[in-house]
Amino acid sequence: MRSRAIIVVDTQVHIWAANTPDRPWGEGMENRAHLPVPLTHQKLLTLMAEAGVDRVLLVPPSLDGDRNDLCLAAAREHPDRFRVMGRIFLDRPGARERLTAMKREPHMAGVRLTFHRDNDRPLIDNGAADWFWPEAERLQIPVMLHAPERLPVVGAIAARHPNLTLIVDHMGFARETMDERCEEGAGRLLALAKHPNISVKVSAAPCYSSENYPFRNIHGAIQRIVDGFGAKRCFWGSDFSRLPKTCTYRQSVTMFTEELGLPRADLDWVVGRGILEALNWK
């Protein structure tokens, strides 16, 4: 009897359009694009076919502010390939109503929040985000968040809201968590494994190694995370537009499927099945 084919789901790819007067990027974002040419969903579909990726969670980049229109248009055109983790400004008027509207959008799988820059880091500390956690829990909206310097705060949120699905981005690593420092980063992240409502994106992994493919010097840290959280709570992702120039999209996949040494049963969960179940993406 043939085993079921593994479904490969990328938990983070940014797509964006050119900076034009009709659709300008956010203020101060002129030099923030990850690539010199915008990544469209049409181009992404070609890349997915080449890399062996079946589905992708689209995440609007920071240069788009809280606009989700481009990603939603792609998901509506290709609902079998894309879902969207939408962005929302937590401290803007009408944010609560906007969150409710996002819940009604069938192609929106959840919300993605970032707390790692000077402009957004204070929001998780100063009370501006306090309304959001119980509301997302009530609406049953999964939340992906990048808060590498606030992991204990994320743990406290998970404890206060046990029915809120929280998914920590990029293994909880800050941008400077490179090479041997990934072991320290893994140790900090593993303190959150006791919370059953916290999962982790083992995403953008090649970005945290100065070595070339297959980036063996960080395999140990990734394996510790998978062992600590369990394969069912670890979700692969590429963060394609941030991959080092020495790493292709296909290699970001095969790093996990061919080089990391995960048992097939664990691999099935990590590269696709886990996130599909977490987001109820049929």
Residue 36 pLDDT > 80: no
**Beta strand ranges found along 52-150 (DSSP E):** 55-58, 82-86, 108-114, 143-146
Structure tokens at 139: 């609406």
How far lies 78's CA from each of 11, 67, 244, in Å?
A: 16, 19, 28
Domains and CATH numbers, the chain: 9-278 (3.20.20.140)
- pTM, two decimal places: 0.95
Type of residue at 57: L
In DSSP terms, 58 is beta-bridged to 13, 84
The residues that bridge with 144 in the sheet, in sequence order, are: 112, 167
Q: If DSSP codes are grouped into helix, strand and coil, which group holds residue 123? A: helix
Residue type, 107: H
Question: What pLDDT sits at residue 22?
Answer: 83
Rounded to whole angstroms, the Cα distance separating 232 from 132 reads: 26
Tokens matching residue 251: 């290699």
Q: How confident is the model at residue 2 (pLDDT cuts 50, 70, 90)?
A: very low
The pLDDT tens digits of the residues spanning 157-192 come to 999 999 999 999 999 999 999 999 999 999 999 999
Question: Would you state the pLDDT for residue 4?
Answer: 63
